[in-house]
Amino acid sequence: MSRRFFVEADGGSRGNPGPAAYGAVVRDADTGEVLAELAEYIGIATNNVAEYRGMLAGLRKAYELDPEAFVEARLDSKLVVEQMTGRWQVKHPDMRTLAREALSVFSPGHVTFTWVPRAQNSHADRLVNMALDARAKGEPVRLPPGNPTAAPVNRLPGWTPDLGTPTTFLLLRHGLTRFTGEKRFSGSGGEDLPLTEEGLAQAKRAAVKLAGMSVDVVITSPLLRARQTAEALATALDLEVVEEHDLRECAFGQWDGLTMAEVMRRWPQEVSAWLASTSVAPPGGESFDAVAHRVEATRRRLLEAFPGRTVAVVSHVTPIKMFVRSALDAPTHAVFRMELRPCSLTTVQWWEDGQASLRTFNDTSHLD
């Protein structure tokens, strides 16, 4: 099945013509996940030319991501949309050239153009103003930390000049529950199980390990097993626990509380589809793509809130895998290739320029 993207684009000039810039965002149409952000100062131009430049840049980036994708370009310029759909003529020579280039990026039939109100195009508009403000100060455009296109040059942390102080995420899976030991689906929306006695002991041992790691804040999923694990950390670290709703486990719907064998007997076709695509949700549940979207948004918020700090995140298998997937710039289906033991520790660092480093994965040395 072909992927679907949204391209949100905007452009503007201060004076018409005047100093001009564009902004563009490429999103996964099914999950809403931001795949790329673009912002560039283009010199002296009109608002309309800047709008065209933003649309063209967004389409080219979408093509780089998947040349077979189907794209809906969303713009708040009625002029550009009407011209690109062929309902209005393109009379300006510069715009005529840009329109031809935009139509040639994808194969015919792969791109549609939609007008949206300005309020629904605020992300791209913000990028435009970011580029114009940077130009006015004589500075380069600096996209937000964690931006998918903010770090086009790969680096080797520890081998290159100082990149600054990273934000460190100590990703701790909750301790053992009854369902964990029985290998049953245990998502959000199902039974909110507490830790077993062994799980509580695991949480205390993890707290001892993290006590020597200069933790600044403890963030937790709202589910009971994660909160109990986080409370053990907070007690050892003398910190408050902050709940983050979007760090909850994937919702497995009708599969919650069942083993994989039981699910395969009752839903054989649904299980096959689920294992074949991260866009497929269990009956009444949530797809891995949807989890990726909410976890990625949370990761960005935490990076903005705690730059250069050490953040202990107590969560579940799927959200922790999504942090790792993001750090490695891996596809969402990489979650099928990872395994995390109860109360295991995974450490990931992000630098201000978007560079990431996976430091440890599934570390259980504190449990031995």
Cα distances (angstroms) measured from residue 219 to each of 242, 291, 307 = 5, 17, 15
What token pair was written down for 122? Answer: 């605020």
How far apart are the C-alpha atoms of 114 and 72, rounded to whole Å?
7
Other C-beta atoms closer than 10 Å to the C-beta of 29 total 16
Cα distances (angstroms) measured from residue 41 to each of 12, 38, 129, 359 = 10, 11, 10, 37
Length of the chain: 368
Cα distances (angstroms) measured from residue 289 to each of 64, 225, 336, 352 = 20, 24, 13, 26
Helix orientation angle between 224-237 and 197-210, rounded to the nearest 10 degrees:
40
What token pair was written down for 78? Answer: 């009625």
Report phi then psi at 350, rounded to 5: -125, 135
Residues carrying an active site annotation: 174, 249
Nearest to 221 by CA among 317, 290, 285: 317
